[in-house]
């Protein structure tokens, strides 16, 4: 299996941009757009992995469904244990997305020359 660094790098960049937008309190028009796109793409993309093994439509469908499911599960779990805040949900999803990307990179074996 060939190591694909572009996909994890894109997801990690999305996580970094979302964290910067949230921490720096970006203006109102930019914040919902950036954080909404993070919530719809990054958690699912980190879970699903390499898009080259899927058709484009199937990959996007699974990524969007997985992102919505993960966001719902994290929100519900934090609400159940009485720890829900928007920042905690965002933090758990950001850390989980980063760990998922790093796990995909650790599992991939580089091609020997």
User: Of 30, 33, 10, 28, which is closest to residue 97 (Cα–Cα)?
Assistant: 10
pLDDT at 71 over 90: yes
Map out the domains of the chain as residue ranges.
Answer: 6-107
The position carrying tokens 């933090």 is 91
Burial of residue 60 (CB within 10 Å: 0-12, 13-18, 19+) is middle
Tens of pLDDT, residue by residue over 21-64, are: 988 888 888 888 889 999 999 999 999 888 888 889 999 999 99
| The predicted structure's pLDDT at residue 72 | 96
Asked if 4 and 108 touch (Cβ cutoff 8 Å), the reply is yes
Under the banding of pLDDT at 50, 70 and 90, the label for residue 15 is very high
Cα distances (Å, whole numbers) of residue 24 to 16, 17, 20, 31, 71: 12, 10, 6, 10, 22
Residue 103: the pLDDT is 87
What's the CA gap between 23 and 3, in Å, rounded? 32
Query: Is the pLDDT confidence value at 102 over 60?
Result: yes
Average pLDDT, stretch 72-87?
95
Tell me the C-alpha distance between 37 and 32, whole Å.
Answer: 8
Per-residue pLDDT band for 65 (boundaries 50, 70, 90) equals very high
Beta carbons of 62 and 54 less than 8 angstroms apart: yes
- Tell me the average pLDDT of the chain: 88
Question: Looking at residue 54, what is its pLDDT?
Answer: 84
**Mean pLDDT confidence for 73-78:** 96
d(CA 109, CA 91): 29
């Amino acid at each position: 299996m060939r190591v694909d660094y572009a996909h994890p790098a894109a997801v990690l960049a999305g996580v970094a941009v979302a964290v910067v937008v949230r921490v720096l309190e970006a203006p109102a028009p930019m914040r919902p757009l950036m954080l909404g796109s993070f919530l719809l793409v990054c958690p699912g993309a980190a879970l699903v992995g390499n898009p080259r093994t899927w058709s484009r439509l199937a990959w996007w469908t699974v990524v969007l469904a997985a992102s919505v499911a993960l966001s719902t599960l994290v929100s519900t779990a934090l609400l159940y244990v009485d720890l829900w805040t928007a920042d905690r949900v965002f933090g758990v999803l950001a850390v989980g997305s980063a760990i998922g990307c790093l796990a995909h990179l650790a599992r991939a074996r580089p091609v020997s020359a």
